[in-house]
Amino acid sequence: MKSFGENFRALVIGASGGVGQALAESLLQQDACGEVLTLSRSEDGLDLLDENSIAEQAGKLAEKHFDLIVCATGALTIEGVGPEKTIKQISPDAMAAQFAVNAIGPALTLKHFTPLLRQSKRSAFALVSARVGSIGDNRLGGWISYRSAKAALNQIVRTTAIEVARKRPDAIIVAIHPGTVNTPLSRPFGSNHTSTEPSEAATMILATIDCLKSSDTGGFFAYDGSRIEW
């Protein structure tokens, strides 16, 4: 990565997951990267369902300034409940859990970690979303709660990017679709799709972030750099 300059500092939130871990490992291999910090529930006790936990972790890093922050959190199956195939299977509790994990938690990371982006130079905050969160691209139906939560995340990213750009035009905030990656999250549902190994997905995601311009802030991109319709 060259767009952040030499010795850039990166933070990966959700680094214990398949994509998050691969992103952290890929960043460590970047010659220009001077430091990679990671946060996860298993290693640091970060709880995306608890704003106090998120604020506490952000507070511990308050003296740091990051050129790149990636939020790679998310879940498709929560407490044993997977995605619905029909509206008849909607459960209020399961839907609320999807929004808590896939929309509200990432929104709170934006709230508390965006102030840690380096000021007065190019910086980026990328949040892992999903193509199934695209309303325009939805031609199969199903997965109602997960799709809706990811669509909400995309709106959160877009709205936050507009707000941040008013005072920090060099900050880029985007949603990124990692593709169908061979991880525990997608493995049970990926039999009909060609999957990508986490290391390959991470390399492509970072390459896409590296090419982003300030005018791309608030966008929704696939791992290969292509734009995804809302």
Band (pLDDT 50/70/90 cuts) for residue 191 is low
128 found inside a domain: yes
Residue 108's domain comprises: 8-222
78 found inside a domain: yes
pLDDT in tens, 118-151: 998 999 999 999 999 999 999 999 999 999 999 9
Band (pLDDT 50/70/90 cuts) for residue 177 is very high
Q: At how many degrees (to 10) do helices 92-99 and 144-167 cross?
A: 30
Please give the pLDDT value at position 120.
Answer: 85
Residue 114 predicted with pLDDT over 60: yes
**144: helix, strand or coil:** helix
Do 81 and 97 touch, CB atoms closer than 8 A? Answer: yes
Task: State the Cα–Cα distance between residues 10 and 196, nearest whole angstrom.
Answer: 23
pLDDT in tens, 37-81: 999 998 999 999 999 999 999 999 999 999 999 999 999 999 999
80 found inside a domain: yes
Question: Within 10 Å of residue 69's Cβ, how many Cβ atoms?
Answer: 26
**How many domains does the chain contain in total?**
1
199 found inside a domain: yes
151 found inside a domain: yes
CATH code for the domain of 59: 3.40.50.720
Percent pLDDT > 90 in the chain is 88
16 found inside a domain: yes
Band (pLDDT 50/70/90 cuts) for residue 17 is confident
Task: State the Cα–Cα distance between residues 114 and 137, nearest whole angstrom.
Answer: 29
Q: Which residue has the higher pLDDT, 182 or 40?
A: 40
Band (pLDDT 50/70/90 cuts) for residue 180 is confident
Closest CA to 83 of 40, 118, 133, 117: 133
Band (pLDDT 50/70/90 cuts) for residue 192 is low
In what order do the strands lie in the sheet containing 68-71?
Answer: 33-39, 8-13, 68-71, 123-128, 171-177, 220-222
Please give the pLDDT value at position 186.
Answer: 60
2 found inside a domain: no
Please give the pLDDT value at position 187.
Answer: 60
229 found inside a domain: no
